[in-house]
Amino acid sequence: MIANGFWPCNTNIGVESGSRRRPCVVWLAAGKPLRDEAYPSTQEAATRQGPRLSSPDGDARWRQGDQSPPPQGPAPADSDLQPASPLSRLRERADFDRTLRSGRRAASGYLALFVSDNELGRPRVGLAVSKKLGNAVVRNRIKRRLRELIRPMVARAKGGRDVVIVARAQAVDAEFARLRQEIEMLWAKGWGE
């Protein structure tokens, strides 16, 4: 007998010697026969089982919730929750290098911030997270946290400046509230507020 309760088809159980082959019937402990058929009948199972749903409207035990249609149109704009626009990011290596070489600096044990002027009239931000800080999962988590922290500051900022934020080793295990304090302090120093 195989682990799932079926006997192999080529056994002699249920077949009389010298006669034609009949389907094997094996009696299980529950007292119901188990037939060795290629395509077992589904009618037996359908009569024993009830429908999947108790009614056309679903199961009455579960709360159905609000059935009104979703609101139409764009979601209301909230500057703290909107993603940073792609134009507000530093992308070119030359811009990173210029900001790191000639920009104003402010640093702490968690982060270093570099700020330089640009001619665009709007702030741009770049993040630098070294591979020394961890694998891709760790680095991406740091970048997501920093992006979330700087988003409201960039929205309030006036003037065209490029900002590069370099994460240090202590930023990996830092709590979100601690990173917020550090970045607000560094932003005020570097931005000149």
pTM confidence score: 0.56
55-73 mean pLDDT: 64
- Please give the pLDDT value at position 160: 86
List the domain boundaries for the chain: 1-55, 88-191
pLDDT of 74 strictly over 60: yes
Residue range 88-191, CATH number: 3.30.230.10
pLDDT in tens, 82-116: 554 445 888 889 989 999 998 789 999 999 999 99
- Please give the pLDDT value at position 45: 56
Residue 68 is encoded by which pair of tokens? 């009104």
| Sign of torsion over alpha carbons 126, 130, 131, 136 | negative
Q: Where on the phi/psi map is residue 58: left (φ > 0), alpha (ψ -120 to 50), or beta? A: left
Residue 97 is encoded by which pair of tokens? 């290098």
- Please give the pLDDT value at position 84: 46
Q: What is the mean pLDDT of the chain?
A: 75
